[in-house]
Amino acid sequence: MDNVIDFEIPVYNVLKKNPEISPLLVEAGFKPLMDQKMLQSVGRLVSLNQGIRKINILADDLVNTLEWNGYEVKGVEKR
């Protein structure tokens, strides 16, 4: 398992590499990921950085969740 999550790449690519984090992202507020059509379309264009701004969650909260679950996080934009 590659445990690095890059906030600068599209969500689709993040989940393709680490599909097991989908529930963590949905719980954090990325509810559209539950719809495969949204993941296949918007998910290919929107990075995690763009997504957290769009759904108005704190990057630090998502980073803490991912790190607590054993992932290394990179590319996080601070607001």
Gap between the Cα atoms of 63 and 57, Å rounded: 11
* Domain, as residue range, for 17: 4-74
Gap between the Cα atoms of 41 and 58, Å rounded: 24
Residue 79 lies in a domain: no
pLDDT in tens, 24-74: 999 999 998 889 999 999 999 999 999 999 998 999 999 999 999 999 999
Position 79 scores a pLDDT of: 65
Position 30 scores a pLDDT of: 92
What's the rounded mean pLDDT across residues 5-16? 96
In the beta sheet, which residues pair with residue 10?
47
Counting the structural domains of the chain, the total is: 1
- CATH code where residue 26 lies: 1.10.3910.10
